[in-house]
A = this chain, B = another copy of it.
């Protein structure tokens, strides 16, 4: 596996972001640095980085995946009104086996209405 400036840029953008960006948003951000980067390159590297557990993919209700840095953040609150993602505290210990199934990763998503949207109602 080779190190390319495209791959490094994509990882840097995700690691410096707090907004859980989509592939298209990452692509647009990339184009500020590499004006002719290809959308296919962004998708290929996102899949690669997810497989290598370097970033996290968040499946959204509208089927547009979002991406997040791999920190202590596996638990999200997803507002069904404004689609905002709020990071929640992570578990203290990460499970490695459940009922003889080997666990590599986990995610927990709560869905509802966030504080801001509740106040607007």
- The secondary structure that dominates the A interface is strand
> When the two chains form their complex, are residues B98 and A103 in contact, meaning their CB atoms are under 8 A apart?
no
CB-CB under 8 A for A108 and B107, given A100-B115, A115-B100: yes
Residue pair A112, B107 in contact (C-beta under 8 Å): no
- Using C-beta atoms within 8 Å of the partner chain, give the interface range for chain A: 20 to 34
Q: Is the CB of A103 within 8 A of B99?
A: no
Q: Which residue of B lies closest to A105 (CB)?
A: B111
Complexed CA–CA distance, A80 and B113 (Å): 31
CB distance from A114 to the nearest CB of B (A): 5
25 examples of A-B residue contacts, CB within 8 angstroms: A57-B61, A59-B59, A63-B63, A63-B65, A77-B99, A77-B101, A79-B101, A80-B104, A86-B99, A95-B110, A98-B110, A100-B115, A100-B118, A101-B110, A101-B115, A101-B118, A102-B112, A103-B110, A104-B113, A106-B110, A106-B111, A107-B108, A107-B109, A107-B111, A108-B109
